Amino acid sequence: MKIPVNWRRLFLGGLLASVVVDALAYAAWTLFLGKMEAAVGAPYTNIDFFGGFICGFVGVGLYAAIRPRYGPGPKTAVLSGLLCCSVLGVIPMLIDAFWNGLLLPIWLVAITFATGFVIIVIATVAGAWVYKG
């Protein structure tokens, strides 16, 4: 049985998730990530708003895709958020580290990715709340 995708709700949920990703990433950068990177002499990396929009829409899109099999709700949204962060965050970082070497201390990379996982999961749950059908 094929369940149709509600494209309007998917767009609105993705937009909300994108705004949440960007707002939380900016807050994390301002509060602690930027200061930690500056302390170890890392080059300045600013917040990538376009990447936040991609993460938000992909997270809610994954939620819409796996919702028929796993059921609606926050558990499915958390699963899709973790999958989104793994695909869009961890895999590219591992490829980059393999080709260029790890340029930052591992503790800083771990804190950055842990923060990213939390941010994307929260944003995906918020976007899934909008996507109800």
The model's pTM: 0.85
Residue numbers of the domain that contains 106? 23-130
Give the whole-number percent of the chain exceeding pLDDT 90.
45
**Residue 54 within a domain:** yes
Cβ-based burial of 56 (10 A; exposed 0-12, middle 13-18, buried ≥19): buried
Cβ 88 vs Cβ 58: under 8 Å:
yes
**Residue 11 within a domain:** no
**Residue 2 within a domain:** no
**Residue 85 within a domain:** yes
Which residue in 76, 78, 28, 35 sits closest to 52, CA to CA? 28
CA dihedral sign, ordered 31, 46, 24, 62:
negative
Provide the number of structural domains found in the chain. 1
**Residue 9 within a domain:** no
pLDDT, tens only, 62-119: 999 999 999 999 999 999 999 998 888 777 777 777 776 666 677 777 888 888 899 9
**Residue 10 within a domain:** no
